[in-house]
Amino acid sequence: MNLIHIQRRQFLKISGLSTLSLLMGGCGTPAFEDIVGQLSQPLNHQVGELIFNPQKPVPEFSLNEIQPEALIVNTFRYTPIIDLEKYRLVVDGEVNNPLSFSMAEIQALPLTSMIIRHVCVEGWAAIVQWGGISLKEIIALAEPKANVQFAYFKSADGYYESWDIASVLHPQTLLAYQKNGEPLPVDHGAPLRLASPIKLGYKQSKWVTKISLVSNLSPFKGYWEDQGYEWFAGL
């Protein structure tokens, strides 16, 4: 882990969440965000290496620590209406094997679950259990080319995000279709949303329809990032 990560972790521990939002609100201009992003991008990571070598998991919470009421719905545009019969998760870009999954196909893959803290920059957090498939499994099936460094996530409400490939392939980065042991509610991103203990809430796209693996970021990095928020947004 790099210096910026360590500082943020310590900062979180020492000063709590309200200060995190102040920090986020205060760290200003896109130019600064770009520098921070570059410093914290694990660009030296090869996709193949990340698929085969495990990364360190974040400690999880226990069942009795789940805070069912704390996860508020945070939707900035609208809740899309998705026809499950027609829904497909597409994986494309710099891959040898582009894929398209129905939800039945997704749910046939091994189900995994984790209890983690969701942290929103607006100053709230919630301990949640997410169930779904490991994003790494899906990416591996698509056979990414060696030059892949980032993933774009497209959502049905027009939201979009980009992540560094190391975070995408982290063992606790899931495409979730369950929340606290129940089917994922539509407001929280059904049929499929990102969930990961290593990224801030705004990186965790709901209603994901497409994952594009790429070797470069475009000038459009994410819905909030393009309005000045930090790109890496690690926890």
Ligand X SMILES: Nc1nc2c(c(=O)[nH]1)N[C@H]1C(S)=C(S)[C@@H](COP(=O)(O)O)O[C@H]1N2
Residue numbers at the binding site for Mo ion (CB under 5 A) = 74, 120, 201-202
Q: Is 205 among the residues that bind ligand X (CB under 6 A)?
A: yes
According to DSSP, the residues that pair with 132 across neighbouring strands are: 112, 176
Q: Which lies closer to ligand X via its Cβ, residue 47 or residue 151?
A: 151
Nearest distance, CB of residue 128 and ligand X, angstroms: 8
Interface with ligand X in residues 87-116 (CB under 6 A): none
Least distance from Mo ion to the Cβ atom of residue 119, Å: 8
- Comparing every residue's Cβ against ligand X, the nearest one is 201
Kindly state whether residue 221 participates in binding ligand X, applying the rule CB under 6 A. Answer: no
Query: What's the residue count for the chain?
Result: 235
- Residues from 177 through 196 that contact ligand X (CB under 6 A): 188-189
Nearer to ligand X, 47 or 175 (CB): 175
| Closest approach of ligand X to the CB of residue 147, in Å | 28
Q: Of 33, 94, 157, 225, which lies in the binding site for ligand X, with binding defined by CB under 6 A?
A: 157
C-alpha dihedral sign at 27, 31, 34, 36 = negative
Exactly one of 155, 162, 167, 212 binds ligand X (CB under 6 A); that residue is 155
Question: Is residue 76 near ligand X by the rule CB under 6 A?
Answer: yes
Q: Which residue among 93, 191, 201, 234 contacts ligand X (CB under 6 A)?
A: 201
Residue 156 neighbours by CB distance under 10 Å: 21
The minimum distance between CB 85 and ligand X, in angstroms, equals: 21
Q: Which of residues 54-73 bind ligand X (CB under 6 A)?
A: 71-73
What minimum distance in Å lies between the beta carbon of 167 and Mo ion? 17
Which residue, 132 or 201, has its beta carbon nearer to Mo ion? Answer: 201
Using alpha carbons, select from 210, 107, 94, 195 the residue that is nearest to residue 142: 94
Asked if 93 and 149 count as a contact pair (C-beta separation under 8 A), the reply is: no
Alpha-carbon gap, residue 51 to 73, rounded angstroms: 32
Is 204 a binding residue for ligand X by CB under 6 A? The answer is yes
Residues that bind ligand X (CB under 6 A): 71-77, 120, 155, 157, 159, 188-189, 201-202, 204-207
